[in-house]
């Protein structure tokens, strides 16, 4: 029963991706209701699927949850910022992550780690949500730089017409970082809490990656809030932060391969 | 009964001719009264900078001559206005108005201003329009709305001033409340400023080489006047700069504005250079977060939007055709009732006259027998009229009633009686 809602979500995310990309292929853009409705339907199916993922162990469930949060943030961006172009990135990303999760296999391998209690699940959920916020900040920054480039180059093609205004993308990036930072902080604190309560074993890799994410995100928020970076400079800072977090994760994962644990 | 449109438009007459035909709203009632006096049953005058058109209902043959005479008087120089004009009748006239309202006949394909102008024309002419044109203009507004909502004919910015708004809207989240600085007093800048102001942009500063000219424009826009030399420091706080000076060389240079732009702390600045030759040195575009567009760039945006709109013409034309048929069905139904009534009355008069003559010759018949004969005459007439009545009503519902009615009127002499 875990597989069916995930497969439905995968299909709907793929359809949402096609709808988001269609205008770039010269097709008529989908209506706002359709553009928002399809990923939301997928999201509903996905929530049902993720809710059945117990015990919550391994890379696949984490990727599935990350995909879920990305689509939720995409819908929120569309609803609050009319930033439908976010779907151009989140659509393929969420579809890919969910597809990868299904390929790896959502059923837990071997015995579940001990002490996967409510606090541990909360730690994972909050941390993954923080990561999704960081990914959204990255996407908003990438969209910003693309639109910036097109405007500077005086190219009035699909990016000019379909992407949101520069200022709105900057605001979305700012909001994602400002909300993402306390979320990641809470996730890290919950992780320490779970570890010291003896609820779950935490590897050094998890601590390194968690702290690095927190520091990098803190820097990106700091330059925006304290040093008032905005626009292109802030976009580069966001992209650098997310890339650093991603690269360190890949390096740590290569050092200790396996799909049974996220790290 | 008929619907006719007579007029001139950007397709048939140059601007210097069209502007002579243009009517102020206060002039419309008198012109329409003159046309109505010549025999038109109702009229609406649509007059914009791109067209002057008289829409007439139930016009006599003399009416077009009166319209052309009226327009020729405005043209002056003994010239005949009809050489610049066109006439469309019935379905073609309805289709013409629907296409106009939808923006299909506009100089800038799909432009939406015409919808408001059609509404204004209808409002101004309401007292003289009559029921048919009243319905026609109401439906034309609906057709315009339908085309704009169901097709992409109105999407994008298809003129340079609206492209200026479109470009600024890709930079700023909301244009409302943004501040604009205008350099110079060119016509294009004024047009673009009007477009921006309609989006809620506040023109706060107007700078010109001569302070007096700047003050005259600033007073109109509720802004502060400056000389050009005073303007450069305001590049630090304006969101949009609109430039259209008559200078023979670039007046907005890197040296003049770079220090002010550096104080913007990364806030974007949109510079729209509408001057010819250009007012802004191209190197200004290299400044951080400065977005510079000249008239060629804006025309490229407009051309692209216009090209995209052209792809929606078939869909828009389909809607127009559907709505023409819908209107024509209503119109056919409207005219069929009085004509059928008259047709029946005419035949009943014939029946009554023939019955009277027959009964005079058959004076020996009993009252009952006379009654039978009269009943027979009624029944026979009803039998004869049944099929034509059904056919006409069905044709009217299908939008084909008008042609049949014309034939009926001609065959049974109803038209001559109308004229009599």
User: Which chain A residues contact residue B170 at CB under 8 A?
Assistant: 147, 151, 160, 163, 165-166
For residue A28, what pLDDT is reported?
79
What share of residues in chain B are helix, strand, coil (percent, to 5)? Answer: 60, 15, 25
- Asked whether the beta carbons of residue A233 and residue B266 sit closer than 8 angstroms, the reply is yes
pLDDT value at residue B165: 87
| Cβ within 8 Å, pair A233-B293 | no
What is the per-residue pLDDT for B419? 40
**Percent residues over pLDDT 90 in chain B:** 51
Tell me: the pLDDT tens digits for B124-153? 999 999 888 999 999 999 999 999 999 988
Q: What is residue B420's predicted lDDT score, i.e. its pLDDT?
A: 35
Say yes or no to pLDDT of A137 above 90: yes
Query: What pLDDT does residue B394 have?
Result: 79
pLDDT at A13: 95
Closest CA to A239 of A152, A144, A150: A144
Distance of CA B28 to the CA centre of its chain: 16
What average pLDDT score do residues A220-244 get? 91
Question: From A152, which residue of chain B is nearest by alpha-carbon distance?
Answer: B291
So what's the pLDDT on residue A258? Answer: 73
Listed ranges A26-40, B231-245, B328-342, B406-420; the one with the highest mean pLDDT:
B231-245
Q: Which residue of A has its CA nearest to B285?
A: A152
pLDDT at A202: 64
Residue from A63, A36, A52 nearest A124 by CA: A63
User: Is the pLDDT higher at B116 or at B410?
Assistant: B116
Beta strands B51-57 and B42-47, pairing class = antiparallel
* Active site annotation includes B195: no
Q: Do B169 and A152 touch (CB under 8 A)?
A: no
B309-347: burial string, b at 16+ Cβ within 10 Å, e else: beebeeebbebbeebbeebbbbbbbebbeebbebbeeee
Could you please report the per-residue DSSP string of B192-234?
HHHHHHHTT-EEEEEEESSHHHHHHHHHHHT-EEEEHHHHGGG
Mean pLDDT of chain B: 88
Among residues B272, B115, B116, the alpha carbon closest in space to that of B201 is found at B272
| A241 contact B CB<8A | no
Q: How confident is the model at residue A201, as a pLDDT?
A: 65
Is the pLDDT score of B156 beyond 80? no
R_g over Cα of chain B: 31
Sheet containing B86-89: give its strands across.
B42-47, B51-57, B3-9, B86-89
A165/B173 touch (CB, cutoff 8 Å), yes or no = yes
CA distance B413 to B369: 33
pLDDT in tens, B84-103: 999 998 889 999 999 999 99
Whole-Å CA distances, B403 to B331, B347, B400: 12, 21, 6
How close, in Å, is residue B288 to chain A by CA atoms?
A: 9
> What ipTM does the predicted assembly reach?
0.84
pLDDT at residue A6 tops 80:
yes
Q: Is the pLDDT of residue B370 over 80?
A: yes
- Determine the Cα–Cα distance for residues B264 and B266; give it in Å rounded to an integer: 6
Distance between CA atoms of residues B317 and B341, nearest Å: 36
pLDDT tens sequence across B223-264: 999 999 999 999 999 999 999 888 888 999 999 999 999 998
Confidence of residue B291 (pLDDT cuts 50, 70, 90): very high
Average pLDDT value over all residues in chain A: 86
Per-residue pLDDT tens over the stretch A32-77: 888 889 999 999 999 999 888 766 667 888 899 999 999 999 999 9
Give the pLDDT score at A45.
95
b/e for B388-415, b at 16 or more Cβ within 10 A?
A: eeeebbebbeebbbbebbbebbeebebe
Q: At what angle do helices A32-51 and A59-81 cross, to 10 degrees?
A: 150
Q: CB of B173 within 8 Å of any CB in chain A?
A: yes
Residues 253-282 of B with CB under 8 A from A: 265-268
Is residue B60 exposed (0-12), middle (13-18) or buried (19+ Cβ within 10 Å)?
middle
Measured in angstroms, the CA of A9 and the nearest CA of chain B are apart by: 31
Q: Is the pLDDT of residue A252 over 70?
A: yes
A111 CB burial (10 A radius; 0-12, 13-18, 19+): exposed
Q: Is the peptide bond before A65 cis (omega within 30 degrees of 0)?
A: no
Q: Is the pLDDT of residue B192 over 90?
A: no
pLDDT of residue A110: 46
Q: Which pTM does this prediction carry? A: 0.69
- The sign one gets for the Cα dihedral B226, B255, B172, A69 is negative
Helix (H, G, I), strand (E, B) or coil at B172: coil
Interchain CB contact of B315 with A (< 8 Å): no
The predicted-structure confidence for A84-125, as pLDDT tens digits, reads as follows 888 899 999 999 999 999 998 876 544 444 445 778 888 889
Catalytic residue among B15, B30, B37, B49: B49
CB contact B383 to A (< 8 Å): no
Look at chain B and count its residues.
420
Would you call A165 and B171 a contact, using CB atoms and an 8 Å cutoff?
yes
Q: Residue B190 in contact with residue B272, Cβ under 8 Å?
A: no
Chain B nearest-CA distance from A136, in A, is 19
- Poorest-pLDDT segment among A5-9, A44-48, B324-328: B324-328
Nearest to A154 among B156, B265, B297 (CB): B297
Q: How far apart are CA A173 and CA B306, in angstroms?
A: 33
Residue B417 is predicted with a pLDDT of: 46
Q: Tell me the average pLDDT across B17-43.
A: 90
For chain A, the farthest-separated pair of C-alpha atoms sits apart, in whole angstroms, at: 59
Query: Distance from B14 to chain A by nearest Cα, in Å?
Result: 32
């Amino acid at each position: 029963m875990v597989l069916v809602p995930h497969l439905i979500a995968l299909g709907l995310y793929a359809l949402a991706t096609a709808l988001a990309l269609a205008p770039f292929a010269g097709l008529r853009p989908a209506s706002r209701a359709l553009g928002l409705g399809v990923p939301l339907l997928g999201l509903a199916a996905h929530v049902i699927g993720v809710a059945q993922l117990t015990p919550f162990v391994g890379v696949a469930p984490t990727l599935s949850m990350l995909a879920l949060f990305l689509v939720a943030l995409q819908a929120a961006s569309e609803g609050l910022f009319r930033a439908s172009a976010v779907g151009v990135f989140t659509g393929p990303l969420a579809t890919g992550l969910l597809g990868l999760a299904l390929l790896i296999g959502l059923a837990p391998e071997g015995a579940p780690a001990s002490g996967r209690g409510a606090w541990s699940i909360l730690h994972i959920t909050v941390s993954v949500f923080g990561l999704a916020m960081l990914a959204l900040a990255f996407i908003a920054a990438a969209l910003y730089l693309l639109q910036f480039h097109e405007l500077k180059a005086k190219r009035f093609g699909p990016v000019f017409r379909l992407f949101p205004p520069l200022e709105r993308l900057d605001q979305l990036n700012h909001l994602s970082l400002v909300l993402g930072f306390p979320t990641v902080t809470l996730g890290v604190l919950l992780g320490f809490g779970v570890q010291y309560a003896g609820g779950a074993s935490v590897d050094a890799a998890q601590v390194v990656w968690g702290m690095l994410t927190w520091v990098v995100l803190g820097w990106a928020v700091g330059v925006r809030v304290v040093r008032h970076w905005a626009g292109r400079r802030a976009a580069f800072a966001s992209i650098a932060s997310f890339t650093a977090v991603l690269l360190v994760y890949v390096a740590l994962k290569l050092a200790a391969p396996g799909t049974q644990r996220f790290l | 009964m008929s619907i006719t449109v007579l007029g001139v438009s950007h397709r048939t007459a140059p601007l210097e001719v069209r502007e002579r035909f243009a009517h102020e709203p206060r002039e419309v009632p008198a012109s329409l009264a003159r046309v109505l006096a010549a025999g038109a049953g109702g009229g609406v005058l649509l007059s914009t900078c791109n067209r002057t058109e008289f829409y007439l209902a139930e016009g006599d043959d003399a009416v077009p001559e009166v319209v052309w005479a009226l327009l020729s008087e405005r043209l002056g120089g003994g010239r005949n206005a009809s050489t610049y004009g066109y006439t469309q009748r019935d379905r073609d006239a309805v289709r013409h108005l629907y296409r106009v309202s939808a923006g299909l006949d506009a100089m800038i394909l799909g432009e939406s201003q015409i919808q408001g102008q059609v509404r204004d024309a209808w409002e101004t002419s309401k007292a003289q329009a009559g029921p048919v044109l009243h319905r026609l203009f109401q439906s034309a507004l609906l057709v315009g709305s339908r085309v704009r909502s169901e097709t992409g004919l109105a999407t994008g910015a298809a003129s340079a001033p609206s492209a200026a708004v479109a470009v600024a809207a890709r930079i700023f989240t909301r244009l409302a409340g943004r501040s604009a600085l205008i350099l110079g007093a060119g016509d294009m800048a004024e047009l673009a400023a009007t477009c921006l102001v309609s989006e809620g942009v506040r023109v706060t500063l107007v700078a010109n080489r001569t302070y007096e000219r700047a003050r005259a424009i600033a007073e109109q826009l509720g802004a502060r006047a400056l000389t050009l030399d005073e303007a450069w420091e305001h590049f630090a706080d304006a969101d949009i700069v609109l430039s259209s000076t008559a200078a023979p060389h670039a007046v907005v240079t890197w040296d003049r504005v770079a220090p002010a732009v550096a104080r913007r702390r990364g806030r974007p600045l949109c510079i729209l250079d509408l001057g010819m030759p250009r007012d802004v040195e191209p190197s200004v575009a290299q400044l951080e977060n400065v977005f510079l567009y000249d008239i060629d760039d804006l025309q490229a945006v407009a051309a692209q939007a216009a090209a995209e709109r052209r792809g929606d013409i078939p869909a828009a034309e389909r809607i127009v055709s559907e709505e023409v048929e819908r209107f024509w069905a209503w119109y056919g139904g409207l005219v069929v009732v009085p004509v059928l009534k008259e047709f029946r009355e005419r035949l009943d008069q014939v029946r009554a006259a023939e019955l009277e003559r027959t009964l005079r010759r058959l004076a020996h018949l009993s009252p009952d027998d006379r009654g039978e004969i009269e009943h027979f005459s009624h029944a026979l007439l009803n039998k004869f009229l049944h099929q034509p009545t059904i056919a006409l009503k069905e044709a009217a519902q299908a939008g084909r009633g008008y042609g049949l009615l014309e034939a009926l009127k001609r065959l049974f002499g109803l038209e001559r009686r109308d004229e009599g």
